[in-house]
């Protein structure tokens, strides 16, 4: 495994702790070796030390005994060496090539290479080109070469298309693993199992029985030290065509013919391709955006977005976006999918809430039940991972009254929790060549195609009266108006 960006944050926070977890689970082969490449001048030892702290911290955050297993850590670092190099310099790839061939010679055999691009997106295309020019990306003698590409994949439709073109001119689609870390979350993977491995839900999973769907990805964090990145990105680009659309696709897709990577990814692509592409007029009435001002989170005062480091004091960048999507296919015609995502909201909560159609009220007309409560199915992605079903039950007593009750499954109760970064499955899947949880070129472009007219229309509009929601609240009022127009209300973020 070659990690480009070996001294960076992503490597420290996620990639190496995930490799440590894989090593603990004995899922790395004995002949495994890692070469870290970065510009920083580091010895092997200094590199290892810079990684140990974060892995230690990560292990402590879990619910097990919180101790780094020193034997496993030693096993891992004894396989990790560092190579200093500039990613834009062809010499770096020549040096890498000779380092890898030394490793192969020591082993006496060729090897598979996994190239992990834990680098800023501006490097994605050029690193892949260098891998091509140096022949490092060429598969040979039945040994594979796979390239993992992080997010963001493109900044809009045309840049995503250009990046796909640049990459696919050098390596084949089967060698590319575009990461969306939401797909590493167990609860996201479970959506497919829940729908297709249980006989109960699929027959009601359509426009006949479902009234509408609400998908919420709410965060309490602000932009932290990423003001510079966020000013060029905003909530829509940062979250919607990737993470939120993965949740939409998992919820809306048809059953694939099998769980093979291409069968699943084709169905997901079809679901996203069925989303109506809005005209500018439609964008105005089906989308809203917001930006947080100062407020309070967990009883602590927090500053507004415009006061964050590296953010312009009159920034027009949105930290909240809500959209009404129409999926124009046989299953979902007429069933709105409302999605919202934002920073500095009242709670951290990612949830898919499905509202079922109500019963005919006639039967209850001479009772005290005014209107029976609708049934909601709640897929809690994070935190408190689980699934709940809300329905009405008769309140005990001589009169006919209805109370709202809930059946609640919590992952923790059945399966416990292990400290996981979410990257374990993804890295393991790359090694075994299972691309199910990775985005194919068409999946990525389908997402951008829906979002592009929203970006264009928002950019062409007069400035918004930002900030329009207080940090620590449920988001801007205009998001409530979006649903009120359809006589719906958001479920509270709590």
Binding region for ligand BG6 (CB under 6 A): 151, 181, 219, 238
Q: Which is nearer to ligand BG6, 152 or 467 (CB)?
A: 152
Q: CA distances (Å), 249 to each of 116, 244, 269, 393, 441, in order? A: 26, 9, 8, 32, 15
Q: Which is nearer to ligand BG6, 94 or 121 (CB)?
A: 121
Q: Which is nearer to ligand BG6, 79 or 289 (CB)?
A: 289
Tokens of 231: 């000013």
Distance of CA 271 to the CA centre of its chain: 17
Q: Tell how strand 2-4 and strand 292-293 pair up.
A: unpaired
Shortest CB 23 distance to ligand BG6, Å: 22
Overall size of the chain counted in residues: 494
Shortest CB 243 distance to ligand BG6, Å: 6
Residue in 150, 144, 174 with CA at minimum distance from that of residue 163: 150
Question: Count of H helices and E strands in the chain?
Answer: 16, 18
User: In the complex, which residue's CB is closest to ligand BG6?
Assistant: 238
Dihedral pair phi/psi, residue 179, rounded to 5°: -80, 135
Shortest CB 396 distance to ligand BG6, Å: 41
Can you tell me which residue has the tokens 């159609």? 357
Q: What is the DSSP string of 51-113?
A: HHHHHHHHHHHSSS-----HHHHHHHHTTEEEEE--TT-HHHHHHHHHHHHHHHHHHTS---E
Q: 407 pairs with which residues across the strands?
A: 389
Q: Which is nearer to ligand BG6, 134 or 347 (CB)?
A: 347
Shortest CB 221 distance to ligand BG6, Å: 6
Rounded CA-CA distance 111/103 in Å is 9
243 catalytic per annotation: yes
**Catalytic residue (one of 48, 143, 243, 488):** 243
Shortest CB 246 distance to ligand BG6, Å: 11
Q: Exposed, middle or buried: residue 361 (CB in 10 Å: 0-12, 13-18, 19+)?
A: exposed
Distance of CA 461 to the CA centre of its chain: 29
Dihedral pair phi/psi, residue 490, rounded to 5°: -70, 145
Shortest CB 484 distance to ligand BG6, Å: 28
Using DSSP, state whether 168 is helix, strand or coil: helix
Q: Which is nearer to ligand BG6, 10 or 76 (CB)?
A: 10
Q: Which is nearer to ligand BG6, 81 or 159 (CB)?
A: 159
Q: Which is nearer to ligand BG6, 33 or 160 (CB)?
A: 160
Q: How many Å is the Cα radius of gyration of the chain?
A: 24
Shortest CB 283 distance to ligand BG6, Å: 23
Active site residues: 243
């Amino acid at each position: 495994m070659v990690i480009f960006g070996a001294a960076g944050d992503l490597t420290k926070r996620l990639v190496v702790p995930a490799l440590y977890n894989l090593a603990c689970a004995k899922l790395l082969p004995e002949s495994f070796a890692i070469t870290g490449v970065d510009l920083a001048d580091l010895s092997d030892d200094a590199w290892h030390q810079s990684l140990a702290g974060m892995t230690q911290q990560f292990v402590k955050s879990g619910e097990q005994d919180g101790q780094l297993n020193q034997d496993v850590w030693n096993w891992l670092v004894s396989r990790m060496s560092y190579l200093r190099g500039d990613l834009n310099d062809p010499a770096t790839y020549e040096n890498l090539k000779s380092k890898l061939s030394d490793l192969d010679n020591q082993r006496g055999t060729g090897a598979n290479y996994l190239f992990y691009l834990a680098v800023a997106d501006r490097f994605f295309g050029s690193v892949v080109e260098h891998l091509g020019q140096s022949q490092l990306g060429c598969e040979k003698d039945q040994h594979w070469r796979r390239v993992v590409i992080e997010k963001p994949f493109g900044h809009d439709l045309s840049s995503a298309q250009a990046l796909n073109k640049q990459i696919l001119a050098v390596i084949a689609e089967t060698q590319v693993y575009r990461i969306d870390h939401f797909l590493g979350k167990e609860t996201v993977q479970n959506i497919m199992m829940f729908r297709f491995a249980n006989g109960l839900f699929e027959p009601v999973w359509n426009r006949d029985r479902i009234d509408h769907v609400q998908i919420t990805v709410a965060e309490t964090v602000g932009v932290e030290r990423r003001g510079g990145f966020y000013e060029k990105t905003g909530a829509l680009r940062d979250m919607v065509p990737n993470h939120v659309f993965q949740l939409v696709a998992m919820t809306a897709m048809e059953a694939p013919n099998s769980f093979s990577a291409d069968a699943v990814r084709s169905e997901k692509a079809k679901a996203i391709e069925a989303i109506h592409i809005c005209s500018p007029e439609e964008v105005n009435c089906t989308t809203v955006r917001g930006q947080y001002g100062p407020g309070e989170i967990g009883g602590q005062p927090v500053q507004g977005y415009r006061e964050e480091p590296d953010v312009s004091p009159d920034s027009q960048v949105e930290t909240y976006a809500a959209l009404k999507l129409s999926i124009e296919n046989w299953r979902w015609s007429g069933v709105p999918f409302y999605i919202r995502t934002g920073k500095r909201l009242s709670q951290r909560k990612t949830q898919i809430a499905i509202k079922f159609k109500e019963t005919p009220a006639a039967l209850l007309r001479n009772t005290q039940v005014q209107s029976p409560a609708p049934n909601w199915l709640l897929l809690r992605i994070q935190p408190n991972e689980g699934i709940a079903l809300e329905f009405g039950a008769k309140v005990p007593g001589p009169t006919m009254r209805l109370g709202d009750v809930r059946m609640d499954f919590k992952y923790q109760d059945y399966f416990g929790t292990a400290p996981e970064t979410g990257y374990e499955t993804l890295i393991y899947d790359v090694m075994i060549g299972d691309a199910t949880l990775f985005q194919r070129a068409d999946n990525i472009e389908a997402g951008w195609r829906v979002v592009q007219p929203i970006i264009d229309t928002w950019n062409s509009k007069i400035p918004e009266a930002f900030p329009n929601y207080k940090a620590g609240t449920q988001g801007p009022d205009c998001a409530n108006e979006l649903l009120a127009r359809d006589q719906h209300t958001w479920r509270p973020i709590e």
